[in-house]
Chains A and B, each alone.
Chain A
Amino acid sequence: MRWRFVIPLVIFMGFVGLFVVGFDLNPRAIPSPLVGKPAPFFSLPRFDQPDQMVTPEMLRGKPYLLNVWATWCVSCRMEHPELMRLAGEGVRIVGFNYKEVRGDASVDARRLSPEAEREWAWARIEEWLQKGGNPYDVVVVDLTGRSAIDYGVYGTPETFFVDAEGIIRHKQVGPISRAIWEGELRAKWLAIAGGEKGGPYERR
C-alpha cells in the first residue's frame, strides 16, 4: 500500500530523464534551406575599391566563410578577435557588411541622402577595421540589406561556410567563439577546406 506514494517520484524521474535526453537535441538546428545550394547571387561594391562590384562567382575557387556583420552589432564585437585569430591561421573570410547605417537604431537613415549614407558607412567600416584589425579577405557592403534577404539573414552575426565550388555547406547563427569553433565548426571547416598540408587549413 505504501508503494503508491512512490509513484509520483517515479513519474517525475521519467520526465527528468526525458529532458536530459532532450538536451542533446538542438532545438535551433533547423538547417538553413540554403545548405547544399549555391551561394545566392549578389553584386555588391568592394569596400577597398568601391567602384568594383563583387559577385559570388568571383569568390569561387577557394573555400571561404561569408561573415555577416555590422559595426553597430554588439555580438560582432565579441566575435571579432576570434575572426582575427582564424584569419591568422589561414581561414579565408569574406566580410558581408549588413545595413551599416540604416540598421543602426541611433541613426535616422531616412534623413540621409544616399551619398551621405554611403560616405558615412565607409567611414564607420574604416574606423572599425583600423581599431579591431581586418580579418577579411574581401569586404562587400550591402547598404540596403536587399542582398542579405536572399541569404535569409535574420540577424547579425551569421556566418555561411562556402566551399570552393561556391556551395553553402553550413550556416552558423550567432557569434563564433573559440569554444564553438573548436567544438564543432573547425571540423566543418576542415571538411570543406581539406587537410593540413601547407598550413592548418590549407586546401590540398
Chain B
Amino acid sequence: MLAEWGQVALAVAAVVAGLQAVLGLAGAERGWSAWMTAARRAAVAQAVLLGIAFGLLVVLFLKSDFSVRLVASHSTTVTPWYYRMTASWGNHEGSMLLWATALAGWGAAVAGGSSSLTATMRARVVGILGLVSVGFLLFLMLTSNPFERLVPPPAEGRDLNPLLQDPGMILHPPLLYMGYVGTAVAFAFAIAALLTGRLDAAWSRWARPWALTAWVFLTLGIVVGSWWAYYELGWGGWWFWDPVENAALIPWLVMTAFLHSVIVTEKRDAFRAWTVLLAIAAFALSLLGTFLVRSGVITSVHAFATDPTRGLFILGLLAITVGASLALFAWRAPTLSGGGGFNWGAREATLLVNNVLLSVAAASVLLGTVYPLLVEALGGGKLSVGEPYYVAVFVPLMAPAVLLMGIAPFLRWKGDDWRRVGKTIGVDLLVAAGGALAIVGGWGNGSWRAWLGLSLALWVFASSGRLLWRRLVGERREREEKGRSVRVRWRETPAGWWGMWLAHLGVGVFIVGVTVLGALERRLDVKMVPGGSTMLADYRFVFQGVEEVAGPNYKAQRATIEVWQGDRQVAQLRPEKRDYYFSTMPMTEAAIDSTLWRDLYVSLGEPLEGGAWVVVLFYKPMVFFIWLGPLLMAVGGVLAALDRRYRLMGSRGERSKMGIS
C-alpha cells in the first residue's frame, strides 16, 4: 500500500503546485491578499506532500519491497541498508523525485522564510516556482513514475551500480540537486522582475541571499562529486571534463557571474537586463544539465538512465520554460535598462570584465560539451572533446579574471583614480611573480604554466592580505585621523565582506592545489611481487601480497602495501579489486593515505604470475587544496548569505516602496 500512498501524494502535490501557481500569480496581479496567502500555504503543502512521497520511497527501498519496479531494479536484500537508502536517488526516477522535492522545499522556504519581501513579490516568486513544479511533477508522473509496481514481484532485485555504492554518493546528488534547483529561485525572482518591470536595489538584496545559498549548494555538490571521482573511479584524477561534470560547472560559472553582476545592480543600479539574463541562463543551464544527464544525448558515465521519451519530455519542458522566459525578456527587458552611468575606472568596470570572462568561460565549456553533438548532427561522425581544449580555453580566460579579482576590492564605485591603487598593485604583482619564479625555479622541473599558476595564487594571497590589513588597520592617514581600534573595525566589518574575502582566498588556495599537483605529481605503474618494494618520491612502498576478502555483496582481492619514509612506517594501504555478484565489470577501490600536504594513492591493476600484481602508485602533493579552496568559497557564500544587511535593508526598502507597488 505504501507505493500507492506515494503515488497519491505525488498526484495531490501536482494539483497543489498548480494552485500555487495560479493563486500566486493571479493574486499578485490583482492584489488579492487572500489568494497570495493561500499560494504561500500551497507552497508549504506541496513541500510536505513531496517530502512524504520521497520518504515513502526511501522506506520502500529500506524494506526491499520488490513489488515496486524501481526497488527491484536498483537494490537487493544483501545491499547494506545505507546503500539501499542512497539507491532511492541513485537512479533516474528517484533522483527526479528528489529534484521535485528540492524544488518544493525551496518554494516553501521562500513562502515562509523571506519576510522582508513585499507580499506581491513573494507571491509572484512562489507562483513561478509552482509553475516550474507543475512541469516537473507532470514529467515524473507521465514518464518516470517511481512507484510503478512490478507484477509478479521477483524474489531478488538487481543491484545498484557498484560505482554508486559509495559514501560520496550519499551526499553528492542531494547537494548538487539543491544547487541545480536553487537556481530556480533566482530565476523566479528574475521573471517576477520582468513581469513587474521592477528591478532595483531592493530586488537585488532580496534575490542575493537566495542565489548565494543555491551557489553554495552547487559548489559543495561539485566538490563532493570531484572528490568522489578522485577516490572511487580509481583513475587518480580529480576532474575529467566529463559532459556531466561540465553540466554542473556551467551553471556554477553563470551563477558566479550573476552573484557579481547583482552587486552592481544593487550598488550602482546598472547591468539590470544583464543580471536578469544571467539568472535565466543559470536556470536554463541547470535544466540543460538535467537534460544531458537524463536523456543520454551525450553519453557519459553518469547517464545511468538513458531513455529518449524522457529526454524529449525534458527538452520540451526546457523549450517551453526557457523559451517563454527569453521571449518575456526580449519583450520586457528594454523597459528595465537605465540606471547609473558607467566609468571605466571604477569598480563596476572590473566586475563587468569579470562577468564577460565568466560568461565566455561558461560558453566555451558549453561549446566543448555539445560540440560532439553538433558535429554528429552535421554528419561528421562521433568524436569527443578532451582536456587539451578545455585547458587551452579555460586558463587564458580565468587568469585575467583572477588578476582582476585582486584589484576590484580596492577600487571605489562610480569612479576611481587607477594611479591611487596602481602603485600597491604593482608591488604586489611583482612580489607574486618574483616569489613564484623563485619557488618554481627551486623545483628544478618548472614550466611556465607552473609559474603562471603560482604567480596567480601568490597574487591572490598578497592582495587578500593587503585587503585584510586595509579593512582592520586602515591606511596610515586614516589611522592617525580617527584612531579607531582594530577591534572596532573588526566589529564593523559586515559578514558579506568576510564572505567575499574568504571566497576569493579560496580561489587562491584552489589554484595552489591545481598548480602544485600538476607540476610535482609522481606516478608509477610497477610490477610488484610479495615482499618486494619500490621507491616513489621519498616513500618506500612494500607490497605484502594479495588476499581474498568477502564484502556484503561482493568479493574482493585486497592487497596490503606498507609505506615507509626512512625508518618510519607512515601508512598501510589496502587497495581492492572488487567483483560485485551482479556486475560483470570488476571495480577498483583505490586506497589513499591523506594528509593536508600530500596524498599517497594506490590502485590495484592486473594480477600477474606468482602472486605478483601490477600496482599503480601516485604521490600527490597538496591535492587536498583543490577541495579546500572551493570549501572556503562555500563558507564565504554562507557568510555572505547570512549578512544582516540583506534582511534589514530589504525591509526598509519594502517600507519605502509600499506606496508604489
The residues of A with any CB-CB pair to B shorter than 8 Å are 1-2, 5-6, 8-9, 12-13, 15-16, 18-23, 25, 27-28, 30, 72-74, 77, 102-107, 109-110, 145, 148, 153-155
**Segment of B230-238, B328-336, B510-518 in the binding face:** B328-336
Closest A-chain residue to B328, C-beta based?
A9
A21 in contact with B78 (CB, 8 Å): no
Closest A-chain residue to B334, C-beta based?
A2
Contacts of B382 in A (CB 8 A): 30
Contacts of B334 in A (CB 8 A): 1-2, 5
Contacts of B280 in A (CB 8 A): 8
Given A18-B373, A27-B299, A105-B159, also A8-B308 (CB < 8 A) = no
Contact with A along B73-85 (1 / 0, CB 8 A): 1001111000000
Distance in angstroms between the alpha carbons of A104 and B555 in the assembled complex: 13
B438 beta carbon closer than 8 Å to chain A: no
B326 in contact with A8 (CB, 8 Å): yes
Distance in angstroms between the alpha carbons of A105 and B66 in the assembled complex: 14
Distance in angstroms between the alpha carbons of A27 and B319 in the assembled complex: 21
Given A9-B323, A19-B297, A22-B377, also A105-B553 (CB < 8 A) = yes
B78 in contact with A105 (CB, 8 Å): yes
Contacts of A28 in B (CB 8 A): 296, 299, 306
B284 in contact with A21 (CB, 8 Å): no
Interface size on B, residues (CB 8 A): 54
Given A19-B291, A103-B582, A105-B553, also A8-B277 (CB < 8 A) = yes
B157 beta carbon closer than 8 Å to chain A: yes
The answer, among B288, B311, B581, for a CB contact under 8 Å with A105, is B581
Residue pairs across A and B with Cβ atoms less than 8 A apart, 20 shown, are: A1-B334, A5-B273, A5-B333, A8-B281, A8-B326, A9-B329, A12-B326, A19-B373, A22-B297, A23-B297, A23-B311, A23-B315, A27-B298, A73-B158, A104-B581, A105-B158, A105-B159, A106-B155, A110-B550, A154-B584
Distance in angstroms between the alpha carbons of A27 and B298 in the assembled complex: 7
B156 in contact with A104 (CB, 8 Å): yes
Closest A-chain residue to B366, C-beta based?
A15
In this complex, which of B79, B156, B291 has the most chain A Cβ atoms within 10 angstroms of its Cβ? B156
Distance in angstroms between the alpha carbons of A107 and B376 in the assembled complex: 45
Closest A-chain residue to B332, C-beta based?
A5
- Distance to closest chain B CB from A84 (angstroms): 16
- Distance to closest chain A CB from B550 (angstroms): 7
Contacts of B297 in A (CB 8 A): 19, 22-23, 27
- Distance to closest chain A CB from B78 (angstroms): 6
- Distance to closest chain B CB from A25 (angstroms): 6
Given A102-B581, A110-B550, also A8-B330 (CB < 8 A) = yes
Distance in angstroms between the alpha carbons of A79 and B352 in the assembled complex: 58
The answer, among A73, A77, A106, for a CB contact under 8 Å with B78, is A106
Closest A-chain residue to B318, C-beta based?
A16
Contacts of A73 in B (CB 8 A): 158
- Distance to closest chain B CB from A17 (angstroms): 9
A12 in contact with B284 (CB, 8 Å): yes
B65-123 interface (Cβ within 8 A of A) = 69, 72-73, 76-79
B150-173 interface (Cβ within 8 A of A) = 150, 154-159
A18 in contact with B333 (CB, 8 Å): no
B326 in contact with A110 (CB, 8 Å): no
Distance in angstroms between the alpha carbons of A77 and B157 in the assembled complex: 12
- Distance to closest chain A CB from B381 (angstroms): 11
Contacts of B311 in A (CB 8 A): 23
B628-642 interface (Cβ within 8 A of A) = none
B48 beta carbon closer than 8 Å to chain A: no
The answer, among B150, B155, B303, B327, for a CB contact under 8 Å with A9, is B327
Contacts of B155 in A (CB 8 A): 106
The answer, among A5, A16, A72, for a CB contact under 8 Å with B319, is A16
Closest B-chain residue to A72, C-beta based?
B156
B374 beta carbon closer than 8 Å to chain A: yes
Distance in angstroms between the alpha carbons of A2 and B581 in the assembled complex: 62
B322 beta carbon closer than 8 Å to chain A: yes
The answer, among B72, B77, B329, B370, for a CB contact under 8 Å with A8, is B329
Distance in angstroms between the alpha carbons of A74 and B156 in the assembled complex: 9
Contacts of B326 in A (CB 8 A): 8-9, 12
Sample of 10 further A-B pairs with CB below 8 A, known A5-B329, A8-B281: A9-B323, A12-B284, A18-B377, A22-B377, A23-B297, A25-B377, A74-B69, A74-B158, A77-B154, A102-B581
Closest B-chain residue to A109, C-beta based?
B581
- Distance to closest chain A CB from B297 (angstroms): 5
Contact with A along B540-581 (1 / 0, CB 8 A): 000000000010010100000000000000000000000001
Contacts of A102 in B (CB 8 A): 581
Closest A-chain residue to B288, C-beta based?
A15
Contacts of B323 in A (CB 8 A): 9, 12-13, 16
Closest A-chain residue to B548, C-beta based?
A110
B356 beta carbon closer than 8 Å to chain A: no
B292-322 interface (Cβ within 8 A of A) = 295-299, 303, 306, 308, 311-312, 315, 318-319, 322
Contacts of B584 in A (CB 8 A): 145, 148, 153-155
Distance in angstroms between the alpha carbons of A27 and B301 in the assembled complex: 13
In this complex, which of B273, B315, B374, B377 has the most chain A Cβ atoms within 10 angstroms of its Cβ? B377
B239-294 interface (Cβ within 8 A of A) = 273, 277, 280-281, 284, 288, 291
Distance in angstroms between the alpha carbons of A8 and B254 in the assembled complex: 14
Distance in angstroms between the alpha carbons of A28 and B288 in the assembled complex: 20
Contacts of B158 in A (CB 8 A): 72-74, 105
- Distance to closest chain B CB from A199 (angstroms): 32
9 nearest CB pairs, A to B = A9-B326, A106-B156, A105-B76, A21-B377, A6-B330, A27-B299, A5-B333, A105-B581, A5-B330
B373 in contact with A22 (CB, 8 Å): yes
A23 in contact with B308 (CB, 8 Å): yes
Distance in angstroms between the alpha carbons of A1 and B78 in the assembled complex: 65
Contacts of A110 in B (CB 8 A): 550, 555
Given A9-B329, A74-B73, also A105-B156 (CB < 8 A) = yes
The answer, among A1, A9, A20, A109, for a CB contact under 8 Å with B330, is A9
